Amino acid sequence: MLTSLVLGGLLGLATAQFPPEPEGITVLKSKLHENVTISFKEVCTEDLEMDFRLVPVLIVSLEFVKPRRVSDLIRAIFFWFFEARKDPSNAPLAIWLNGGPGGSSLMGLLEELGPCSIASDSKTTVLNPWSWNNEVNLLFLDQPTQVGFSYDVPTNGTLVRTTDGEEEIHSGDFSIDIPQSNFTHHTYSLEIFDKPLYEELMYNWTHPGGFRDQALACEAALKERDSGLPHPRKNVSEICGGLALEWGDGPVTYYHTFNRGWYDIAHPKNDPFPAKHMLGYLTQESVLAALGVPVNFTSSSSAVATQFTNTFDIVHGGFLDAIGYLLDSGVKVHMMYGDRDYACNWVGGEKASLAVPYSRITEFADTGYSPLLTPEGISGMTRQLGNYSFTRVFQAGHEVPSYQPVAAYEIFMRATFNKDIPTGLLAVGDNFQTIGPKDTWHIKNIPPVMPKPQCYVLSPGTCTPEVWETVVNGSATVKDWYVVEGSGGAEDQEGFSILGGDEL
C-alpha cells in the first residue's frame, strides 16, 4: 500500500490555501420560498481564460434553510450553467449529473463534454468543438452537499492525501448473472481472469448460501424493512453485512491485483487518462475567486459513497423498475457504454438493458443491432426500439465522451432531437426498430498500445508506488503537478513531454 502524502516538503503541492472570500456576488431571494436564495456571479473571459464569446455562464448556489432544534441547517448546492451556442432561447435544457455516488459533475464539464477542457499546464483551457452545449443549454449540478463546490457549513481544515479512495463510482454492481465472457476472453482478446480463477469465482457465486443467495436475501430484507412492517424478522445489517466481505474477496479485489485500469481494461492500473488537469485548475485562487465559491473543490466524496454502501443501496433493487416506469410513461432512455470499461462494463449494461421490466421488454430483446455511424465511421453498435436504446461504443473507457467525443456527441444529439441513434437521419416513433444481429460478440477489437503512467500528484492513483515514493520523500521534481524527474516520472513516459511550466 502506498504511504500517505506527508506535508513537509510537499507543502507547495497541497491545496493548502483556504478559498478567498467571495466578492461581487449577487443574491436573489426566491419568490416561491422564503428560505431559498440564489447567489450568482457572471464569469468573464479574463478570469477563467475560457472562450465565453458564445458561452454565457451563470454560477449559482441554492441555499435551503430548514429550522432545526439546535440551529438552522444550510444546504448550498452549486451548479454551472452554459447557454447553447446556437439559439439558446429555443434550445432544450439538459442536466448533467455525475455518479459515484459522490462524484462532482465538474468532471463531466471539464473532462468530458463541456465547452472547454483543461490544458496540460492545469492553468489554461482548450475549446471543445464537440461540447454538448453546441445546441443544448447545459446545467452541471454538484450533488449532494460535500461534493464539488456544494456545501453545508464552510469549515477550514487540512487534508493528508493518500492513494486510497481514488475510485469515482461504486465498486461494481451486484448482478444476478455472471457470464463466463465477463471473466475470460472478451471482445479485446485480453485474458483478465484465467479459467481456475473464473471457476473459483463462479463457485463463490452459485453455491448454496453463496454470494448470489446472500444478495437475494439482503434485497428481500431491505424490501421488508421499507414495507413498514413493525417487526422485521432479522436485522438488515445482520443479513446484509457479509456481502461486503464476500464481494471484497471476489472479482473486485482480484481485479485490483492486476495491472489493468479499473475504468479501462486496455490501460494500466495507474491510468493517466482522462488526465486530471481540472484538479490543478480548480486549486487556483484566481479561479476560485472568479467562481465566487467559499469552499475548495472536492472531486469525489468518500463520505457520500460510504453512506450509500452502509445502507446497502446498491443491492436494494428497484433501479430497473424505475427505468421501466419512465419508458412506459413515454420518457426517452438511451444508454451508452464504453466497451473497454471494467467498472461499468458493457456486458452487464447490455444484460441490464434487456432486463428492464416494461411493456415492450420482449420486443426490445428481439431487436437487432445496427452500426453506429458517425463522421469518424462505425463507432459502435446500437439496439433501438422506439425511444429506448443501448449502445456499445468501441474503444471507449468509462468516461465515453473523453475517449470518443464524436460518438458520444452524436448519440446525445440524436437522442435529444428524436433521431435514430445509428444514423441520425430518421425520425423516431414508437415503431422504429433497428435491424441486425441479436448480439455483438462477433465484433472483436484490437486493444491500443498500453500507455505508461504519468504521475499527477493531485491524483495519487495515477502514480506508481515507485514514483509516489519519490514524491513522499521529496526527491521528485514537479512541474504543473506532474512528476518530471525521478524513477518513472513523466519525462520517461511515451508521448509526454513538458515544455516550460512552473516548477514546484
Q: What does each C-alpha distance from 81 to 105, 145, 281, 295, 324 come to in angstroms?
A: 12, 18, 19, 19, 30
- Residue 93 Rama label (left phi>0; alpha psi -120 to 50; beta): beta
Tens digits of per-residue pLDDT, 105-148?
999 999 999 999 999 999 999 999 999 999 999 999 998 888 88
- pLDDT, residue 54, reads 33
The more confident residue out of 16 and 241 is 241
Q: Are 163 and 468 in contact (CB under 8 A)?
A: yes
Which percentage of the chain shows pLDDT scores above 70?
77
User: Which residues neighbour 383 within 8 Å (Cβ) at sequence distance 6 or greater?
Assistant: 353, 364, 367, 368, 369, 370, 389, 390, 391, 434
Q: Are 98 and 108 in contact (CB under 8 A)?
A: yes
The more confident residue out of 409 and 285 is 409
- pLDDT, residue 318, reads 87
Asked which of 177-181, 227-231, 317-321, 382-386 is least confident by mean pLDDT, the reply is 177-181
State whether the Cα torsion 243-249-255-259 is positive or negative: positive
Rounded distance between C-alpha atoms, residue 287 and residue 280, angstroms: 10
Locate the domains of the chain by residue range: 22-163, 193-256, 317-416
Binned at pLDDT 50, 70 and 90, residue 404 comes out as very high
Report helix, strand or coil for 408.
helix
Which of these CATH numbers, 3.20.20.70, 3.50.50.60, 3.40.50.12670, 3.20.190.10, describes 317-416?
3.40.50.12670
**CATH numeric code, 22-163:** 3.40.50.1820
Give yes or no on whether 22-163 and 317-416 have one common fold: yes
DSSP β-bridge partners for residue 91: none
Across the chain, which distance is largest between two alpha carbons, in Å? 68
- pLDDT, residue 176, reads 36
- pLDDT, residue 238, reads 83
Report helix, strand or coil for 496.
coil
User: Does residue 428 register a pLDDT over 70?
Assistant: yes
Q: What is the pTM of this model?
A: 0.84
Sheet bearing 388-393, strands edge to edge: 333-338, 388-393, 377-385, 369-374
Q: What is the mean pLDDT of residues 231-245?
A: 72
User: Does residue 450 register a pLDDT over 90?
Assistant: yes
- pLDDT, residue 166, reads 38
- pLDDT, residue 167, reads 38
Tens digits of per-residue pLDDT, 160-173?
554 443 333 443 34
User: Does residue 102 register a pLDDT over 80?
Assistant: yes
- pLDDT, residue 326, reads 97
∠ Cα 51 55 56 (to 5°):
115
- pLDDT, residue 500, reads 38
- pLDDT, residue 162, reads 47
The more confident residue out of 443 and 175 is 443
Q: Are 192 and 251 in contact (CB under 8 A)?
A: no
Tracing cell 491510468 back to the chain, one arrives at 271
- pLDDT, residue 257, reads 86
In the chain, the amino acid numbered 377 is G
User: Does residue 61 register a pLDDT over 90?
Assistant: no
Q: What does each C-alpha distance from 56 to 82, 85, 208, 424 come to in angstroms?
A: 6, 9, 59, 28
Q: What is the mean pLDDT of residues 423-438?
A: 97
Binned at pLDDT 50, 70 and 90, residue 244 comes out as low
Binned at pLDDT 50, 70 and 90, residue 490 comes out as very low
- pLDDT, residue 295, reads 87
Asked which of 33-37, 282-286, 324-328 is least confident by mean pLDDT, the reply is 33-37
Cis status of the peptide bond prior to 405, with omega within 30 of 0: no
Average pLDDT of the chain is 81
The more confident residue out of 496 and 220 is 220
- pLDDT, residue 416, reads 98
User: Which residues neighbour 275 within 8 Å (Cβ) at sequence distance 6 or greater?
Assistant: 111, 120, 454, 456
User: Which residues neighbour 36 within 8 Å (Cβ) at sequence distance 6 or greater?
Assistant: 29, 30, 62, 63, 64, 65
Q: What is the mean pLDDT of residues 363-390?
A: 98
Q: What is the mean pLDDT of residues 311-322?
A: 86
Mean pLDDT highest for which of 170-179, 223-232, 465-474? 465-474
Alpha helices in 74-175 (DSSP H): 106-107
Binned at pLDDT 50, 70 and 90, residue 229 comes out as low
